[in-house]
Amino acid sequence: MVKVKEIVARFEEFAPKWMAEPGDPIGLQLGDLNREVKKMMITLDVRPETVQEALENGIDFIFAHHPAMFVPVKKFDLSEPQNKMYAELIKNDITVYAAHTNLDNANGGMNDWLAEELNLVDCQALLPIREEEMYKLAVYVPKQQAAQLRQALADAGAGRLGQYSACSFSQTGTGRFSASDAAQPFIGQAGQVSAVEEEKVEVVCPKSLKNQVLAAMYANHPYEEVVFDLYQIEGLGQKYGMGRVGKVAFENPLTVLEYAKYCKEVLGLQGLRLISADLDKKVNTVAVLGGSGAKFYSNALLKGADIYVTGDVSYHVGHDILASGLSVIDPGHHFEKVCKERLTQKFSQWKQQEAWDIELYTSTLNTDPFRFV
């Protein structure tokens, strides 16, 4: 049987937690990461109706895009539907995990999926590019123990660069020291200056693995006092950014109005909101950001977008957008529902690769709270 933590670990290789925006309550929402999984459900939202769907389909693990617990529970009053939903999940041993802005930021994640749905090519990030924080570790070890230490550091996750692992650099030299009477030196005698042939082992590691790499260093180093350098470096971390902007891959450019109708069709919407002072303007460049991205409309302008597709545009921001000359399509927050199919495809691939003995189920419910009448 596969456990929740194994499924989560595979997903977090694709969309690691450190990519999430500060304060975003991602990760385990309810339940136990050590629970065994027989049937897993992929959903956009965790609402009372999706929990009921899970119960009816024998689900023991829910994987959602939107966190179930944005607001901490201060009083567990079961007359409140949200609290009653939590109680149902706990009572039925259903584990819930959420991947929110880490999935939005991931390369090949939510915003790339939306760009593909909107027929965009040659895409780049809409918001400024950020880089994973990386560190360089240089540790001095007797030459005889260097191979063991290098392997331990690699096993802890150090030395991974793109598609390469166990990357390191070594340089030999002479280390000298004099141990006090209270010391217990691995090599040499107390009160005497000792000279040892040492190897300087250099590896890189991401900030997220720094502590476990250091723990591996201490556990596999023979010295009583380990000598090492640890410092932050730039240029080697994974680069990522939220939102996408690209060219529309149509032979003949559509107008703003035509592209809005196209979005309504491909996104499977009953309706959408359109902000534009020129419905006949030709559309060549489109920006998109899943969820609530109205406050980033200036980024779309800076990137030369003709249209910006994002949800939850407020009235006054809508006026500011109109005055700026940018056209905006607001399909609602729920257009992120594309993640259900795309995540199901991802987990199906990983299920086959990892030989997971689980059943996958994709929620069939429409959790959009808005209706067009």
Tell me the average pLDDT of the chain.
96
Same domain, 181 and 325: no
Residue span of the structural domain in which 198 resides? 133-237
CA angle 99, 274, 285 (to 5 degrees): 75
Mean per-residue pLDDT, 5-13 = 97
* CA dihedral of 15, 18, 24, 29, whole degrees rounded to 10: 70
Mean per-residue pLDDT, 39-64 = 98
Q: How confident is the model at residue 185 (pLDDT cuts 50, 70, 90)?
A: confident
Which residues pair with residue 131 across a beta bridge? 239
Mean per-residue pLDDT, 227-244 = 95
Q: Are the C-beta atoms of residues 246 and 124 closer than 8 Å to each other?
A: yes
Same domain, 254 and 118: yes
Q: Are the C-beta atoms of residues 279 and 256 closer than 8 Å to each other?
A: yes
- The pLDDT of residue 365: 97
Rounded to two decimals, the pTM is 0.89
Same domain, 352 and 311: no
- The pLDDT of residue 72: 81
Q: How confident is the model at residue 226 (pLDDT cuts 50, 70, 90)?
A: very high
Cα(228)–Cα(240) distance, integer angstroms: 30
Cα-only R_g, the chain: 26
Same domain, 177 and 263: no
Higher local confidence (pLDDT), 193 or 339 = 339
Residues in the chain: 373
Q: How confident is the model at residue 62 (pLDDT cuts 50, 70, 90)?
A: very high
Q: Are the C-beta atoms of residues 68 and 106 closer than 8 Å to each other?
A: no
| Position 183 pLDDT exceeds 90 | no
- The pLDDT of residue 181: 84
Same domain, 139 and 230: yes
pLDDT in tens, 14-25: 999 999 999 999
Mean per-residue pLDDT, 35-45 = 98
| Position 189 pLDDT exceeds 90 | no
Q: Are the C-beta atoms of residues 248 and 284 closer than 8 Å to each other?
A: yes
Mean per-residue pLDDT, 338-355 = 98
Mean per-residue pLDDT, 266-290 = 97
Q: Are the C-beta atoms of residues 147 and 199 closer than 8 Å to each other?
A: no
Same domain, 220 and 295: no
Same domain, 83 and 138: no
Same domain, 96 and 146: no
CATH value at residue 345: 3.40.1390.30
CA angle 147, 151, 155 (to 5 degrees): 170
Q: Is residue 372 part of a domain?
A: no
Q: Is residue 368 part of a domain?
A: no
Same domain, 17 and 147: no
- The pLDDT of residue 288: 98
Residue where one domain finishes, among candidates 237, 256, 272: 237
Same domain, 138 and 268: no
- The pLDDT of residue 36: 97
182's torsion region: left (phi>0), alpha (psi -120 to 50) or beta?
A: alpha
- The pLDDT of residue 362: 98
- The pLDDT of residue 120: 98
